[in-house]
């Protein structure tokens, strides 16, 4: 039984609850496939409000598609400059107003903790669609779903590569994977290492953690490479960004050392994966992005008790 009122952080869930959501996503996946001929009215009459205070392509669009595939409707705030936020309205007031217009809210905000605060003032469910360098739980759910589709979730050895300091996707994912007994290999520049408090939490949960600044050290030990971009927008000092930009690049030569390794990426990708890797059997990131629709369909239906 799913009893959550909001989805704010992967740390709020047990393994059983995560599996419950993934199972629902599997049940709904056929409705997400374009041209499959299946239609649903599961959320007919319901309205989702997308409140995005940061740029988004996949998350915002897949939430919108998910709601519409289930027969619901969507209203969007895709730019804070076009809203009353530009006039100085605070987030609390916005949430109080918008929750009176809709049945559920997906919120992306640059401040860590914004979604948890919003949940305390909202009269409808809040889904954290990314809060600064904090959490991105629905991205984690689609990541888990992708890994499960590859039959790797029970014996996972995964390298998380790139920006581990600021990336909310790897923070959320690492916490969730600790529930599945995954071996976690952290690969990053020294300046972008996984925060110590997160590593302490993971070790406290029994996770095995290995760290390096070099992908080659772990390339033959893992079955998944989870690559992230170095996020320019998270750096307070552009000079610090320039020191680490372009540190890692996944090439066909690199993955030839482990020909069955699965490559994932939350997207957008810049220069951290060579374009020719897109054509290999290893690349899963575009399929991974598609899975955002059935996973978010699952989340919407469960929170709306449909």
Known catalytic residue at 193: no
> Cα–Cα–Cα angle for 21, 24, 28, nearest 5°?
135
Q: From the candidates 24, 46, 108, 229, which is the catalytic residue?
A: 108
Residues in the chain: 306
Known catalytic residue at 136: yes
Known catalytic residue at 234: no
Q: Write out the two tokens for 20.
A: 């419950």
Q: 3-state class of 85 per DSSP?
A: helix
Q: Report the C-alpha gap between 269 and 186 in whole angstroms.
A: 19
Q: From the candidates 34, 87, 214, 305, which is the catalytic residue?
A: 87
Q: Report the C-alpha gap between 115 and 128 in whole angstroms.
A: 5
Q: Report the C-alpha gap between 195 and 58 in whole angstroms.
A: 26
Contact 99, 105 (CB under 8 A): yes
Q: From the candidates 6, 24, 46, 59, which is the catalytic residue?
A: 59
Known catalytic residue at 229: no
Known catalytic residue at 59: yes
Q: Report the C-alpha gap between 248 and 257 in whole angstroms.
A: 16
All residues at 6 or more sequence positions from 202 whose CB lies less than 8 Å from its CB, including other chains: 174, 175, 178, 184, 209
Q: 3-state class of 278 per DSSP?
A: helix
Q: From the candidates 4, 11, 58, 234, which is the catalytic residue?
A: 58
**Closest residue by Cα to residue 66 from 6, 142, 135:** 142
Q: From the candidates 6, 69, 136, 168, which is the catalytic residue?
A: 136
Q: Report the C-alpha gap between 158 and 210 in whole angstroms.
A: 10
Enzyme catalytic residues: 58-59, 87, 108, 136
């Amino acid at each position: 039984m799913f009893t959550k009122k909001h989805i704010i952080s992967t740390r709020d869930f047990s393994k059983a609850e995560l599996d419950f959501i993934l199972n629902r996503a599997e049940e709904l996946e056929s409705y997400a496939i374009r041209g499959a001929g299946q239609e649903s009215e599961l959320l007919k009459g319901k309205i989702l409000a997308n409140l995005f205070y940061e740029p988004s392509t996949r998350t915002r669009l897949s939430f919108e598609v998910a709601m519409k595939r289930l027969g619901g409707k969507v209203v969007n705030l895709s730019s804070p400059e076009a809203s009353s936020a530009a006039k100085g309205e605070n987030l609390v007031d916005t949430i109080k107003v918008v929750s009176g217009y809709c049945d559920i809210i997906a919120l992306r905000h640059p401040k860590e903790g914004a979604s948890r605060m919003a949940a305390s003032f909202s009269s409808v469910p809040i889904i954290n669609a990314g809060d600064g360098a904090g959490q991105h739980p629905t991205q984690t759910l689609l990541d888990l779903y992708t890994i499960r589709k590859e039959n790797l979730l029970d014996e996972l050895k995964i390298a998380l590569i790139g920006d581990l300091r600021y990336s909310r996707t790897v923070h959320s994912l690492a916490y969730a994977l600790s529930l599945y007994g995954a071996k976690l290999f952290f690969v990053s520049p020294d300046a972008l290492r996984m925060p110590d408090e997160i590593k302490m939490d993971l070790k406290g949960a029994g996770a095995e953690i290995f760290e390096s600044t070099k992908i080659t050290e772990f390339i033959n030990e893992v079955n998944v490479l989870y690559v992230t971009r170095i996020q320019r927008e998270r750096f307070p000092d552009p000079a610090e960004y320039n020191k680490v930009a372009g540190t890692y690049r996944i090439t066909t030569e690199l993955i030839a050392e482990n020909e069955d390794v699965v490559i994932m990426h939350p997207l957008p990708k810049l220069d951290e994966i060579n374009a020719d890797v897109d054509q290999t059997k290893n690349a899963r990131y575009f399929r991974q992005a598609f899975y955002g629709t059935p996973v978010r369909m699952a989340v919407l239906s469960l929170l709306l008790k449909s």
